[in-house]
Structure 1
Amino acid sequence: MRGLLADVPRKNGLQPAEQAGAAAPWSTQRLLGAARWNADEVRDVVLSYAVERLGGPAAVLVLDETGFLEKGSRSARVQRQYTGTAGRIENCQVGVFMGCASSRGRVLIDLERYLPDESWVRDAGRRKDAAVLPKLWRYGEPAHP
């Protein structure tokens, strides 16, 4: 995590590995590109941590959305849509983030990128090209191609 969150110019396997103190980039590259892990289980562990370590009467749940400007059209969930990041309609992805904050600290618990509209849901080829997983489809579309 230190490597991924570090203020380095590029987030390939080498720079985050160096930032995290690894002798070589291979383990970081494997984690980023090939390791299998369950995102829901990781989220549940982080949520448990937040409740146990940060919870209390003054703790708050923070929800926020932000846009990620994109040049192309093939990235998952990219479309011309409004984003506060640019203050106008732009080609972007939109993500919704959930975190917990208290006087004891703060933690990001979960995030989900928004699937813009039915044009993404109805275009099986576009979803396949952008690796949009079936469980993330919206608008009542069946969870199979």
Structure 2
Amino acid sequence: MKTNEESVAAGHSIDPGRWREAFEVVMSRIAGRFAQVETRLRGGRLVMGLMSDLPRKNCWTIAEWAGETTPHGMQHLLCRASWDADAVRDDVREYVVEHLHDEAAVLVVDETGDVKKAPPASGSSVSTPAPPAGSRTPRSPFISSMWASAGTRRWNWELYVPRSWTGDPGRCRAAGLGEDTVFATKPELARMMIERFLGPG
């Protein structure tokens, strides 16, 4: 029976040993961004779950896939655990540019959305399938940026928070957003991500 790591590698048509080695290189690169070892290890399991062939990806399904009995650990990782998400993002950017450098590569900015099945809470959902075109299913809109060369690698995203929310500190607080969250249009969020990517050169 294949391990989860072998299943992920097989799904990407990569030798499992080589895949595991590359994965460990990335994880060692971001290891210092986590306050506790268990948080870092769970972060690794979360990433593997996101790369798996699970038909639906959220804290419940990924926790079960990773051998955890409840989703509480994954939820804690995303909502309350101590780790520097911005620094991890920047580490991943540097890794992508170093290893996937291509003169023909472009940075793609796009709008996407995750299905909302409960009152929205920042960080409470990992990923859910977007509803079909024309669907009335509520969505949490994101602006994402991807490095596109031979394939695409999502690098960054920003949650679009409507003005009706940013003008209501209580609503922001209930959703897990800072009360000082300010309104930004989608083009402004896109420009911010582009500047963030280009800033280090």
Query: What TM-score results when the alignment is normalised by the length of structure 1?
Result: 0.67
- 2: distance between equivalents of 1:115 and 1:109? 20
Per the alignment, residue 143 of structure 1 pairs with none
- Would you say the 8 A contact 2:142–2:159 is kept in 1? yes
- Would you say the 8 A contact 1:54–1:101 is kept in 2? no
Relative to 1, partners in 2 of residues 1:69 and 1:31: Cα closer, same or farther, differing over 3 Å? closer
- 2: distance between equivalents of 1:45 and 1:63? 19
Relative to 1, partners in 2 of residues 1:66 and 1:125: Cα closer, same or farther, differing over 3 Å? same
Aligned residue runs from structure 1 range 108-119, under 5 A: 108-117=154-163, 119=164
Which 10-residue stretch deviates more, 90-99 or 48-57?
Answer: 90-99
Taking only the aligned residue pairs, the percentage that are identical comes to: 33
Q: Does residue 100 of the first structure (1) align with residue 155 of the second (2)?
A: no
Per the alignment, residue 63 of structure 1 pairs with 109
Per the alignment, residue 120 of structure 2 pairs with 75
Q: Which has the higher strand share?
A: 1
| DSSP-derived class of the 1:66 partner | strand
Relative to 1, partners in 2 of residues 1:134 and 1:56: Cα closer, same or farther, differing over 3 Å? farther
- 2: distance between equivalents of 1:17 and 1:92? 23
- Would you say the 8 A contact 2:115–2:131 is kept in 1? no
Deviation at 1:91, TM superposition (A): 3.2
5+ long unaligned stretches in structure 2: 1-46, 123-129, 185-201
Deviation at 1:18, TM superposition (A): 5.5
Q: Which has the higher helix share?
A: 2
Deviation at 1:29, TM superposition (A): 4.9
Per the alignment, residue 4 of structure 1 pairs with 50
1:62-108 Cα shifts (integer Å, max 9, x gaps)? 11111233355x3148xxxxx995437763211111111223x4321
Which aligned segments of 4 or more residues in structure 1 are displaced greater than 6 angstroms?
Answer: none
5+ long unaligned stretches in structure 1: 78-82, 140-145
Q: Does residue 25 of the first structure (1) align with residue 62 of the second (2)?
A: no
Relative to 1, partners in 2 of residues 1:107 and 1:29: Cα closer, same or farther, differing over 3 Å? farther
Relative to 1, partners in 2 of residues 1:29 and 1:71: Cα closer, same or farther, differing over 3 Å? closer
- 2: distance between equivalents of 1:98 and 1:126? 27
